[in-house]
Structure 1
């Protein structure tokens, strides 16, 4: 079976992407409880064109909320491709160490 490279969307209408999205599958993240459930991401468009990203999950055993908040922005401001970068600060309460991902 031949692997196919994923195609990047062009001309993304970023406003349609805003709102709350629930995960159906994932790789566990450091901020998530091991027994996490109801994992979701909430995207909010900011006035400067960047996107506020709030990732949350809740522990199935005690209901505690794990979360991390960051900012998403276009990977290449001159491209029409919908490639985004996301920047989180670790730990979230000390915005000194940025962690950037695709």
Structure 2
């Protein structure tokens, strides 16, 4: 029951913020990465609370998460996993590296390992555009707003954390209604669209 109440609070808070956003100016706002990310603190497991649905996640029914490990090379080992509808766990390993020399908030990601080497010829864009100062939540996006991921260390963020997430998305010109809440054990009981249109 508590989980549903938190989810309802999250939806109401995000919807209220959406209504106060100026749609005309949202598109003009650039997507801006945070100044820097301490990759050592960023390591560990992040639960996906919501995302702009992506084709590669179509097989995922719940428990989408990412685990990051900083490697001695400076690259980040990425393991994305989720639970499929049949209960099986799907996992995929990749690597992330700086897309801009010296930047820790603008990364590129590859899931193509060819002959033991990670191929970055056509990488995914991974910009950290919002980050809680205690590293409890993060928002990841890209300059086109074609992808967006809300990550949290827990399945039940506080209302204050939700407000910070929503503010980050709106400041970067995202349409909150493009996001779908991710089902997580201990969190949202089922995947649902954030807004009904």
Shorter-chain TM-score tier: 0.7 to 0.9
- 4+ runs deviating over 4 angstroms: none
More helix by share: 2
Superposition pairs for residues 8-47 of structure 1, below 5 Å?
A: 8-26=33-51, 27-30=53-56, 33-34=59-60, 36-47=61-72
> Which is greater in Rg?
2
More strand by share: 1
CA contact (8 A) 1:59 1:65 kept: yes
- TM-score norm. by structure 2 comes to 0.43
Unaligned regions of 5+ residues in structure 1, if any? 90-94
Residue among 65, 84, 87 paired with 2:107: 84
Q: How big is the shift at 1:19?
A: 0.8
Aligned-residue RMSD, C-alpha: 2.1
1:57 pairs with 2:82: yes
How many residues were matched structurally?
A: 94
When residues 80 and 53 of structure 1 are mapped into structure 2, their CA distance, relative to the original with a 3 A threshold, is: closer
Alignment partner, residue 48 of structure 1: 73
Alpha-carbon separation, structure 2, partners of 1:51 and 1:31 = 21
Alpha-carbon separation, structure 2, partners of 1:69 and 1:50 = 13
Q: Identify the structure with bigger relative contact order (alpha carbons < 8 Å, sequence gap 6+).
A: 2
Deviation per residue, 1:46-100 (Å, 9 max, x gap): 011110000000023x2111121100000012x44620000102xxxxx339451
